[in-house]
Amino acid sequence: MKSFDHPIFSQSIQLIQEQLGSTGLDALQKQVLERLIHSSGDFALAELLCFSPGACNIALDALLAGATVLTDTYMASAAVVSMARRTLKTPVNCVLDWTADKDFEGLTRTASGMKAAWSEISSKVSSEPLPIVLIGSAPTALNTLLDLVDEGAQPPSLIIGMPVGFINVLESKSKLAASGLPHIRLSGTRGGASLVAATVNALLRASYFHI
Amino acid at 157: S
pLDDT at 211 over 80: no
User: Residue 19 domain-assigned?
Assistant: no
Q: Given a cut of 60, is residue 63 above it in pLDDT?
A: yes
Inform me whether the pLDDT recorded for 3 exceeds 90: no
- Using CA atoms in the order 32, 36, 38, 43, what is the torsion angle rounded to 10 degrees? -110
| The pLDDT of residue 101 | 66
Is 141 part of any domain? yes
User: How many domains would you assign to the chain?
Assistant: 1
The CATH number assigned to the domain holding 173 equals 3.40.50.10230
pLDDT at 136: 98
Residue 100 covered by a domain: yes
Would you say residue 5 lies in a domain?
no
Other beta carbons less than 10 A from residue 15's beta carbon: 12
- The predicted-structure confidence for 157-178, as pLDDT tens digits, reads as follows 999 999 999 999 999 999 999 9
What integer pLDDT is reported at residue 98 of this predicted model?
95
Q: How many CA atoms within 13 Å lie on the side-chain side of 123?
A: 7
Residue 122's Cβ-count burial label (10 Å; 0-12, 13-18, 19+) is: middle
Per the domain annotation, does 188 fall within a domain? yes
What is the structure's pLDDT at 203? 98
- Distances in Å between the Cα of 115 and the Cα atoms of 46, 80, 105, 137, 166 are 32, 22, 11, 16, 22
Please say if 38 is a catalytic residue: yes
Among 141, 138, 146, 198, which residue's Cα sits nearest to residue 164?
Answer: 138
67, part of any domain: yes
Q: Residues 9-34: pLDDT tens digits?
A: 889 999 999 999 999 999 999 999 99
* Terminal-to-terminal C-alpha distance of the chain: 11
Structural domain span for residue 127: 46-210
Q: What percentage of the chain reaches a pLDDT higher than 90?
A: 89
Q: What pLDDT, on a 0 to 100 scale, did the predictor assign at position 1?
A: 44
Active-site residue identified among 6, 38, 183, 210: 38
User: For residue 12, is it within any domain?
Assistant: no
CA angle, 190 then 50 then 204, to 5°? 90
- How confident is the model at residue 112, as a pLDDT? 94
Q: What is the pLDDT of residue 185?
A: 98
- Percent residues over pLDDT 70 in the chain: 96
Which pLDDT does position 2 carry in this prediction? Answer: 56
> Are 160 and 134 a contacting pair, CB within 8 Å?
yes
> What global pTM score does this model have?
0.95
